[in-house]
Amino acid sequence: MKKKILVSLGVVLGVVVIAVVVLVANLGRIVNSKKDVLLAQAEKQIGRDVSVGDVGVALWPEIGVRVRDVTVSEDPDYGTEPFVRVADLRVNVALMPLLKKRVDIKRFVLNDPVINVIKGEGNRFNFTSMVEAAGGGAAGAGGTGASGSSAAAVPFVLAVADIENGVVRYVDPAQAMDRTIRDIDFSAQNVSLDSKITATLAAAVFGETQDVRIEAVIGPLGAGANPADLADKPLGATVSMGPVKLSTLAAQKPGAKPLDPAQDGTLTVDATLSGTFGAAVFDEVSLEMMVLGATEPNVEITSTAGPFNLLAESTLVFSGARVKGDLKTAPISLASLPMKPTAPGKPAPKLGGEITATAAFEGEATALAFTSRVDATQATYEVEGAFAKPAGIPAVFEAQGTFHPEGTPNEGVEFTSIDATVHALKARGSGTLVPFKGREAMRFSFDATTAIAPWKDLMPSLAPFAPSGDATVKLVVSGAPKPGVEPGITGTATFANVSATLPNVPNPLKDGKGSASFTAKSARVEDATFTIGKSAFRAKADIPSFEPMAATYSVVSKEVWRADVQAAAPNAPQLPRPEVFRDVTVTGKSTEIPGAAKPAPGAPKPLQNDLEIASKSGIASNIDYTDATASVRATTEKVIIDRFSAKAMAGTISGSGTMEPLTATFDVTSKVENVNLAEYFRFKSPALADAVAGRISADFNISGSGRTWEDIQKTLAGSGGAVVIEGALLNVNVVKQLFASIQGMPMVPADLTAKMAARNPKLFASNTTVFKNLAGKVTIADGKLQVPDLKIASADFALNGTGWFGLNKDMNMSGTFTLSDALTRDLLAQVPMARYLLTPGGKLDVPLTFSGAVMKPNVAVDMTALTARAQQSLVDEGKQNLNSEVKGLLDKLKKKD
């Protein structure tokens, strides 16, 4: 029995083998007999040249035909490279139809295919003409016509061909895109228009290994020839992507810069699709990201979307769809996010800490409404020396709006509301943003309010000023949001109740208020007012450029009390009257110094201020003045006074000079014209008001350094000259003291002074020395005013002297006092022996010394010099008399002879 069974099985097996051999032979014969006809039919069907290499029969894994080196030519409008190249094409056929000499194709298998897809103008591709040709009908084998239904079935069958290790290259010249998708594996089961088709697709879309996988169930599709017939056909799929590195995704964009490794992360997407071709729905989309170097997912998006009409034109696919979803993040570290310098030569800002974000979106795909919130309270941000936000300072941004995809009406993002809180600032705004290439545009407007005082916590440069007050800002930002294009910024700001402490100013600034308009590059202060002490100011400014800085400004005040704006020097004596400058006008221009060394972070820019200063009247250093003006150029290192002038003390004072505040050095040239000395001393030094009178004209150059008078005295140096006309030494009568000194000499009457006073009552009547003019040159050094050639002239005498005046108000002078001819005659009448004091020119010169306090000097006659002169005169007279007597005696002797 067993033997019969084995024999029967052997017979059956043999029959099967023979049948297979016959079928394969028939398949090979059928294919080879139809090869040329099939190629011609295919070429006609798709409108392209088709070529094949070797054709053979395959027995494994299924019976079929193997065709090597298949190529489909390119549309000549797109190039010369083949549209499709297939290294090995297998056509698997059904076994039983072969018994009837009929070929039923079960499956196409493409091994190592390379497909080039090129996008042209509009929505045309390099395969568009082939699809159009296939849809227009073709002649079948033996010349019979194919119906539209069978013609449409050809590209469908090709579309579900199995692919192993395929490559698709996609080129879009308009977008400068050239992408290649590799390692494509595609398989489909139950490929029939009358059954459910299951398909699996895997490909290396972004990286070197497969990172996208799709599993789909389609149909039954039915035999409908038109796309509309597929609208209600079932469709289901699951899609997964990743994990894909963000750096790999970023590299897909043409011209994109490589992503910093510290910012890299991954993206993973999972989605489920259901519905029909005309109404497909994403039941669930889940996206997880690891961003900015995170090791765990820190961004999650979940959503649903649909329905999508997959059969519609590309612009209409999403027209009826709605999307709903949420975004949330774990705390995202910002430490790895690099920042660029805001300007050349400046340090880059530092970003740290972490942020969180949430968002919800819902609506049609063409008009997606959203709400979002970004909380950067725990973030840190620092601009060295200028700004430092620590973690914990509030920084929250909320927005609501609608997103319109590219190409749809109102494309871009419409922000219906934007709310921001940063420290003490609260802002509300709205705007639009269009980020799409070639049409980039944005416009935002904001209204913001803030208290000023809290900002000193974030801006170190404000801390010394302790500012306070309130500010309101209106801001508009517009332009094209793309690299290399600066946004346009315009706005206005108003401020009120402003107060601040100013360096080296004894009283704080208070009651500040005003308004300003500004752009990203310029600003204008229309009208600002403030007070310092009891001095009130009004200011305007125009800043046409921040980089480089350039500005013009003006400040006016009815009265500026010096004690309000400048503290007195240490140990300075209190002035009899406070200093005040009335009707003050300051106009200035600030410019950034070209070529100056860049300041340290947070330090002010190196600026030069050119100032014109005017004051109609006032009191300076206890001196009344009018019509004061000055032209000044000032930097932080040096102040140059090109010109100053004022009317004071019935004369004028003018000059120029330089001062270096950092080193407290100065060099001043001054000119005094016709100034009343009595007024000067009355205002400046009342103790000297009774010492000198007259009208002085002088010019001096003085230099030195020091912050106190004690220090200045040690370094004071200079030179100059002065002329005093119609003057008087008020505390001394030099002539009276002279005669009093002579009165003590031998052979001088004891009442000489009285007799001289009787003959010259005006000259001796008062304790003053009146003179027509006083002139002299002065040098200043070692705490003294050296006077090498002091000259005093009057109707009654002349005085030539030399010596010094100490800055501590002492003096030491010596000189020659020469009497007028009238006084000399009066003296000789009273003291005939005084002739021995006369000079060869007949003048009476008396050597004098002045010493002691400048206010009341001691005047003394140099008796030694006078005695020597008298002795010399007597000797000379004796010689002359002896010579005369000898000559007379000789003359007599000659006569006797």
pLDDT digits (tens, 9 = 90+) for 783-807: 788 888 888 888 888 888 898 887 7
C-alpha 797/C-alpha 214 separation (Å) is 124
Give the residues across from 769 on adjacent strands.
729
pLDDT higher at 418 or 174: 418
pLDDT at 614 over 60: yes
Q: What is the pLDDT of residue 10?
A: 41
C-alpha 626/C-alpha 650 separation (Å) is 10
Express each pLDDT in 519-545 by its tens digit: 988 999 988 999 999 999 999 999 998
C-alpha 609/C-alpha 660 separation (Å) is 14
pLDDT-above-70 percentage for the chain: 81
Q: What is the pLDDT of residue 287?
A: 94
pLDDT at 19 over 50: no
Overall residue count recorded for the chain in this entry: 897
- Non-local CB neighbours of 404 within 8 Å, separated by 6+ positions: 366, 367, 368, 410, 411, 412, 413, 414
441-451 exposure pattern, b = at least 16 Cβ within 10 A, e = fewer = ebebbbebebb
Helix axes 821-830, 752-759, angle to 10 degrees: 140
If you average pLDDT over residues 340-364, what whole number do you get?
A: 87
pLDDT at 743 over 50: yes
Q: What is the pLDDT of residue 555?
A: 96
Give the mean pLDDT of the chain. 81
Q: Quick one: DSSP state of residue 147?
A: P
Q: What is the pLDDT of residue 321?
A: 86
Q: What is the pLDDT of residue 595?
A: 67
Express each pLDDT in 668-726 by its tens digit: 898 988 888 777 777 666 666 667 788 888 898 988 888 776 777 778 788 888 888 87
Q: What is the pLDDT of residue 431?
A: 96
Express each pLDDT in 803-841 by its tens digit: 888 777 788 888 888 888 888 888 778 777 777 777 777
Contacts by residues 465-469 (CB-CB < 8 Å, ≥ 24 positions apart) = 465/500, 465/501, 465/502, 466/500, 466/501, 467/498, 467/499, 467/500, 468/497, 468/498, 468/499, 468/500, 469/495, 469/496, 469/497, 469/498, 469/499, 469/512
pLDDT at 51 over 50: yes
Q: With contact defined as beta carbons under 8 Å apart, do 412 and 434 qualify?
A: yes
pLDDT higher at 7 or 443: 443
Region of poorest pLDDT, from 31-35, 769-773, 856-860:
31-35
Tokens of 670: 């001054």
Region of poorest pLDDT, from 345-354, 356-365, 808-817, 853-862:
853-862
pLDDT at 140 over 60: no
pLDDT at 274 over 80: yes
Region of poorest pLDDT, from 23-27, 309-313, 857-861:
23-27
pLDDT at 508 over 90: yes
Express each pLDDT in 554-570 by its tens digit: 999 999 999 999 887 77
Tokens of 625: 């003045």
Region of poorest pLDDT, from 136-140, 363-367, 506-510:
136-140
Express each pLDDT in 405-442 by its tens digit: 888 889 999 999 999 999 999 999 999 999 998 899 99
Express each pLDDT in 840-854 by its tens digit: 777 778 788 888 887
Express each pLDDT in 74-104 by its tens digit: 888 888 888 888 888 777 666 556 555 555 5
Highest mean pLDDT, choosing among 3-12, 257-266, 593-602 = 257-266
C-alpha 252/C-alpha 828 separation (Å) is 121
Confidence of residue 758 (pLDDT cuts 50, 70, 90): confident
C-alpha 626/C-alpha 674 separation (Å) is 15
Q: What is the pLDDT of residue 145?
A: 40
Q: What is the pLDDT of residue 138?
A: 38
Confidence of residue 895 (pLDDT cuts 50, 70, 90): low
Confidence of residue 360 (pLDDT cuts 50, 70, 90): very high
Confidence of residue 156 (pLDDT cuts 50, 70, 90): very low
pLDDT at 22 over 60: no
Q: What is the pLDDT of residue 599?
A: 60
Q: What is the pLDDT of residue 568?
A: 79
3-state secondary structure of 826: helix
